[in-house]
Amino acid sequence: MTPFGEKMRKLRMERGVTLKQMADEIGVSSAYLSALEHGKRGRPGWHLIQRILSFFNIIWDEAEEVIRLARISHPRITIDTSGLNPKATELANRLADEIARLEAATLDEILVIIERRRSKTLAAGSPSDAARRRRSVRTG
């Protein structure tokens, strides 16, 4: 299950909504919605996310969180380490080899380290972050 799928399931359960009811309302099949929840489909597109937010009547901070979860919920990713430090390539490969065997606590530790680094980078307004924002503005 992906972080987005987990959140969707939680929202459905809290509101007592079945997969079929939600699927009918947002215009997708219940099989697709189930696959999305279980991480068997890639992350949803922007229009589907908007329909889901509308269906659950989610706004503001909670909507931003759902959008963030969708963005980090692609179940099959590719990491391009070309041009990076060789340790980045090693890390990506070792993580790919070991991720299925890592316990939840270990995953939490790794995520805390990454989030801490991300927060420091954002606070410092790193040049690479600024360049990424410029590219994002240019491409849409």
Regarding whether 135 and 92 lie in a shared domain, the answer is yes
Pairwise CA distance, residues 74 & 126, whole Å: 26
How many angstroms separate the first and last alpha carbons of the chain?
Answer: 29
Mean pLDDT of 24-34: 96
22-61: b or e for each residue (b if 16 or more CB lie within 10 Å)? bbeebebeeeebbbbbebebebbeeebbebbbebbebeee
Confidence of residue 113 (pLDDT cuts 50, 70, 90): very high
The domain spanning residue 25 has which CATH number? 1.10.260.40
> Which of 15, 38, 71 is where one domain is finished?
71
Whether residue 42 contacts residue 74, with contact meaning beta carbons closer than 8 Å, is answered with yes
pLDDT for 68-102, tens place per residue?
999 999 988 899 999 999 999 999 999 999 999 99
Q: 117 lies in a domain?
A: yes
Whether residue 44 contacts residue 36, with contact meaning beta carbons closer than 8 Å, is answered with yes
Domain membership of residue 104 as a residue range? 86-139
Overall domain count for the chain: 2
What percent helix, strand, coil does the chain show, rounded to 5?
75, 0, 25
